Chain A
Amino acid sequence: MAQSRELYEAIVNGDAKQAHAVTQAAIEAGIGPMTLISESMIPAMDEVGRLFEEEEYFVPELLLAGRAMKGAMELLRPLMTASGEKLSARVVIGTVKGDLHDIGKNIVASMLEGSGFEVIDLGADVSSEAFVAAVKERKPQFVCLSALLTVTMPSMKTTIDALGNAGLRTQVKVLVGGAPVTMQYANEIGADGYSENASGAVGLIRRLLEGA
């Protein structure tokens, strides 16, 4: 389908206006949201992730692709709500308490959203209580925690412990990331996974879903 190809290219090129226009045209032409997601968005975000891994794309390109994808998704979301179509998994994401930095978290959130997951973004400086409340109310399969400062990394452990104390730990997989975070730290605090970057986070969730 021409529209699918055009949307794919608009996202990869980070062209938000084009992505919006093409999506609008596709909807009017009767193409379903799940078709656009599976044939355009997911392959586009995979390609963006690949280009990032190969160091052809950097943070700005990831942000621009995410922006283009989000604009298209905003048009599709009401249609999906109306038709009752569900995405493959629900993810709650946020930067942990004390940490005001959210660029990395935002990139991961948009990569996940563009990869076909439902993303509930709690923002930055999110308390463990807020994570617990979101898990109770929204029942996600995954919780993604981000930290940029070593001084706020202990908040990741606090959040994992709070999920345990609330009896919710076995209901969700907790994934951690951020510049100073390591696989070893993830293991030490009892996280279920760690990713070094946003495209890795997509792959990690896919693997965990397959294994589940």
Chain B
Amino acid sequence: MRLKLISCQVLTREMNHILSRSPHSIVAEMLPMGLHDLGASMRPHLQERIDAADRDGYDAILLGYALCGRGTEGLRAGKTQLVLPRAHDCIGLLMGSRLRYQAYFDTHPGVYFRSPGWIEHQVPGQALEPAHSAVCRTSGERQTREELIAQYGEDNGDYLFEQFNAYRRRYSGLTYISSGVESEDAFRSSARAEAEKEGWTFEVIEGSLALLEQLVNGTWGAADFLVVPPGAIVHGTLGDTIVEAL
């Protein structure tokens, strides 16, 4: 098959590993990880790249994304079918299964996740965020205490900083998802150092490339993939299947 892959940069190493072994002809395009922060407003950026690829007559356009805070909801397939893994976010993709992620999340609600891409592509100086916080940011939430005090006065600035950061105190762990690709020791060490610095528990779990391999290799079972036929759109059901085509 002749395939186009449009993927989030956070999966770069995993995708490169899989692409180099794929039997298909694949043109890959990595989009900036920062789109994640836009939440639902990520969609027009992806749609533009999908529409551009649609003109080139691929057999399918593969999306290296998940529901991503509804950032993929409403994406429309043009003449070319779209393929989207059924997962809430990249943590589900890297764990190889949305069910495994859900089970882990249910028992670990207060952990940050790290993976090679989360460390390699994070913008220096950017505040630490949970991997799944696709929140539409309004002014104030990412400001430092000093910035808030300068703008709102000492008393109110302090209060706002505490309000915006209260949820962080409920996060108590950092989980590194090892994806098994070569040369990840430095990323693992970096994640461990980050956890130690913050006083969080640190856990390494073995990820799985299975879901991403099936995406790239063209084995799109209905249980784990949504195939969006030409003209249809992605709808987030949030049920067991997470996404459906409308």
**Does residue B198 face the partner (Cβ distance < 8 Å to A)?**
no
In the assembly, what is the distance between CA of A67 and CA of B163, in Å? 11
Assess the A149–B155 pair: CB atoms within 8 A.
Answer: no
Q: Is B135 an interface residue (CB 8 A)?
A: yes
A188 and B164 alpha carbons, distance in the complex (Å): 31
Asked if residues B167 and A101 are in contact (CB atoms below 8 Å), the reply is: yes
Chain B interface helix/strand/loop/mixed:
loop
Q: Are A64 and B239 in contact (CB under 8 A)?
A: no
A153 and B238 form a contact (CB under 8 A): yes
A188 to B139 Cα, complex, angstroms? 32
Q: Give A178 Cβ to nearest chain B Cβ, in Å.
A: 10
Residues in B with CB closer than 8 Å to A180 are 39-40, 69-70, 134
Taking residues whose C-beta sits less than 8 angstroms from the other chain, chain B's interface range is 35 or more
The residues in B between 206 and 220 inclusive whose CB is less than 8 angstroms from any CB of A are none
Q: Does A120 contact B (CB under 8 A)?
A: no
Q: Is the CB of B88 within 8 A of A58?
A: no
Q: Which residue of the partner chain, among B132, B140, B164, contacts A151 with CB atoms under 8 Å?
A: B132
Task: Take A63-B163, A103-B163, A125-B109 as given contacts and tell me if A151 and B88 are in contact as well, using a CB distance cutoff of 8 Å.
Answer: yes
Distance of B158 from chain A, by nearest CB (Å) = 11
Q: Provided the pairs A180-B40, A185-B238 are in contact, do residues A99 and B109 lie with their beta carbons within 8 angstroms?
A: yes
Contacting residues, chain B, for A16 (C-beta < 8 A)? 155-156, 159
Q: Does B89 contact A (CB under 8 A)?
A: yes
Q: Is the CB of A58 within 8 A of B39?
A: no
A14 interface residue per 8 A CB criterion: yes
A residues less than 8 Å from B156 (CB atoms):
14, 16, 64, 67
Q: Which residue of A lies closest to B143 (CB)?
A: A60
State the interface size on chain A (CB cutoff 8 A). 29
Complex-state Cα separation, A179 to B170, whole angstroms:
20
* B138 interface contact, C-beta 8 A: yes
Residues of A near B186 (CB, < 8 A) are none
Judge whether A150 is part of the interface by a CB distance below 8 angstroms: yes
Task: Check A148–B135 contact: CB distance below 8 A.
Answer: yes
A100 touches B69 (CB 8 A): no
Q: A60-B139, A102-B166 are in contact. Are A150 and B133 (CB under 8 A)?
A: no
Task: List chain B residues, Cβ under 8 A from A183.
Answer: none
**Are A124 and B167 closer than 8 Å at their CB atoms?**
yes
B30 within 8 A of A: no
25 CB-based A-B contacts, threshold 8 Å: A16-B155, A16-B156, A58-B140, A60-B140, A60-B151, A64-B156, A64-B159, A64-B160, A98-B106, A98-B109, A100-B167, A100-B170, A102-B166, A102-B167, A124-B167, A124-B170, A149-B69, A150-B67, A150-B69, A150-B132, A150-B134, A151-B101, A179-B134, A180-B69, A188-B237
